[in-house]
Amino acid sequence: MDQTSLQVASTQLANAAQGAVTSVEHSPVILHGGMSMWSLFWGAEPIVKFVMLGLVAASIWSWTIIIYKVYRLQRLNAAADQFEEAFWSGGALDDLYDRIHNRPMDPLSAVFCAAMREWRRSISKGFSRASDMRGTLEQRIDRVMQLTVGREMERLERHMGFLASLGSNGMIVGLFGTVLGIMNSFESIAAQQNTNLAVVAPGIAEALFATAIGLVAAIPATIAFNKISSDLNRYANRLDAFASEFGSIISRQLEEHA
């Protein structure tokens, strides 16, 4: 290769290097320190922005539900402890009912008040004196307590479906944003006919950012759903156990009145 050819080759390499530097300098995303969350968000396509905002809003709402449920269950367990202490203290159940029947403070008190209300209504009609009506009264009181348990648990389980949906679908929504970001990268490559990092990086960064937001929304929702569901199941078992114990007490009372 003669000297002229070497000079031409070196000139072409220098021009190519200068073009690459210029492309990086004029790219919409600066590679060193420019890929912040705000720049990735504002540089994203409108649909990708919508996906990101939706995931952020879903994450905020899920954390609101999580904090409320955890706080609510702590309060209910504390109230249940206080009620059971008063219930098993040996005092008259009629006096306990008279104190709390207008405003039961927790589901356990509501189950007790529902059973006592049905008991008093039946006693006032003289049903407990008829042996053939005793079984019917026991069944009716048990049914009232079970209906009360079901109604109270339905209230406590409200919004749990949202946590389950976000935990299972948040990742998929994030992947949808990932696909859109990758498609944007390929469109940039096709439009500029250039495959250097300055062209590909913005779309790939948007894709990874959308995936990260999906993970941030889905993982806490899944963990919280499993934990809160377990706590709710334990609380439901506590209500069922109390209903069974109180049903036994009422059965003994009916036998004494027979």
Phi, psi of 89 (to 5 degrees): -75, -15
Is the pLDDT higher at 96 or at 134?
A: 96
Tell me which amino acid residue 45 is: E
pLDDT exceeds 80 at position 40: no
pTM of the model: 0.74
Phi, psi of 44 (to 5 degrees): -80, 165
Residues contacting residue 33 through CB under 8 Å, at least 6 positions apart: none
In the prediction, which pLDDT does 60 show?
A: 95
For residue 6, being part of any structural domain is answered with no
In the prediction, which pLDDT does 137 show?
A: 79
pLDDT exceeds 70 at position 129: no
In the prediction, which pLDDT does 83 show?
A: 92
For residue 38, being part of any structural domain is answered with no
In the prediction, which pLDDT does 213 show?
A: 87
The residue range of the domain holding 219 is 43-257
pLDDT exceeds 60 at position 117: yes
Whole-angstrom CA distances from 219 to 49, 63, 159, 166, 216 are 21, 11, 17, 9, 6
Phi, psi of 115 (to 5 degrees): -70, -45
In the prediction, which pLDDT does 195 show?
A: 62
Q: Report angle CA 168, 170, 47 to the nearest 5 degrees.
A: 145
For residue 121, being part of any structural domain is answered with yes
For residue 127, being part of any structural domain is answered with yes
Both tokens of 218, joined, read 């889905």
For residue 149, being part of any structural domain is answered with yes
Is the pLDDT higher at 22 or at 243?
A: 243
For residue 96, being part of any structural domain is answered with yes
Which of the residue ranges 27-31, 164-168, 224-228 would you say has the lowest mean pLDDT? 27-31
In the prediction, which pLDDT does 194 show?
A: 62
In the prediction, which pLDDT does 150 show?
A: 94
Is the pLDDT higher at 132 or at 126?
A: 126
Q: What's the number of domains the chain is made of?
A: 1
Residue 39: exposure state from Cβ atoms within 10 A (0-12, 13-18, ≥19) = middle
Reported as a pLDDT band with limits 50, 70 and 90, residue 70 is: very high
Whole-angstrom CA distances from 20 to 11, 35, 184 are 14, 19, 21
What rounded mean pLDDT belongs to the chain?
A: 78
For residue 238, being part of any structural domain is answered with yes
For residue 85, being part of any structural domain is answered with yes
In the prediction, which pLDDT does 47 show?
A: 76
Contact (Cβ atoms closer than 8 angstroms) between residue 152 and residue 107:
yes
